[in-house]
Structure 1
């Protein structure tokens, strides 16, 4: 399957909140996402979360874009197409993948440019 087939007509949902990406000592059960490996724990939380104040390091001001489409495991190059298009638009991304969908976080200041780029890829963008 070609990634452009999935992108053409795919819905991207812009979440309401503003997020912080935090390196923490402990997971947060209320986090949108938790990534824990042998060397660190990273959580993506609403900026108003108490975890932000307790974090070892924090990067604030992220907006979440969710691809509201089921992505098959054998789909090759989906994120490559999305990340390359956003990079060409000078938009930095932080990506979180779930079992069957992907979430791309972009800085709030880049949100308009990011959503326009996704529209150019054939996506329908809507606010939550």
Structure 2
């Protein structure tokens, strides 16, 4: 499977919310995502909820781009294609994947450049 087939005509939605990525010791019930590792827990929350998170580090100002398509596990290189394309226009990414969908977070100041670049790849960016 070619990642370009999924990108061309693929729907990408842009969140209305702005998010913060937080390093913490525990869960947050309103988190968009929680990643637990042996040494730390990372939660992604809407910025309006940051004060409710007991965090020792916070990276605010992220917007979520959701690839509104089911991505099969055997698809090789999808995120590499997206990350490379965004890197070409100097956009840093933070990625969270669910079972079948990828969410790419970009800095709010980079949102326009990221959307334009994804549209150049054939994506239909909504938001």
Give TM-score scaled by structure 1 length. Answer: 0.96
Q: CA deviation at 1:60?
A: 0.3
Q: Could you say what the CA RMSD is over the residues aligned between the two structures, in angstroms?
A: 0.7
Instruction: Select the structure that is richer in strand.
Output: 2
What does residue 72 of structure 1 align with?
72
Distance, in Å, in 1 between the alignment partners of 2:17 and 2:65 is: 11
Q: What per-residue deviation string (whole Å, max 9, x for no partner) do you get for residues 62-120 of structure 1?
A: 00000000000000000000000000110000000000000000000000000000000
Residues 1-128 of structure 1 aligned to structure 2 (within 5 Å):
1-49=1-49, 50-52=51-53, 54-127=54-127
Distance, in Å, in 1 between the alignment partners of 2:27 and 2:101 is: 22
Question: Runs in 1 of length 4+ with deviation above 4 angstroms?
Answer: none
Question: Number of residues paired by the alignment?
Answer: 126
Q: CA deviation at 1:51?
A: 3.2
| Unaligned 5+ runs, structure 2 | none
Matched residue SS, 1:83: helix
Give TM-score scaled by structure 2 length. Answer: 0.97
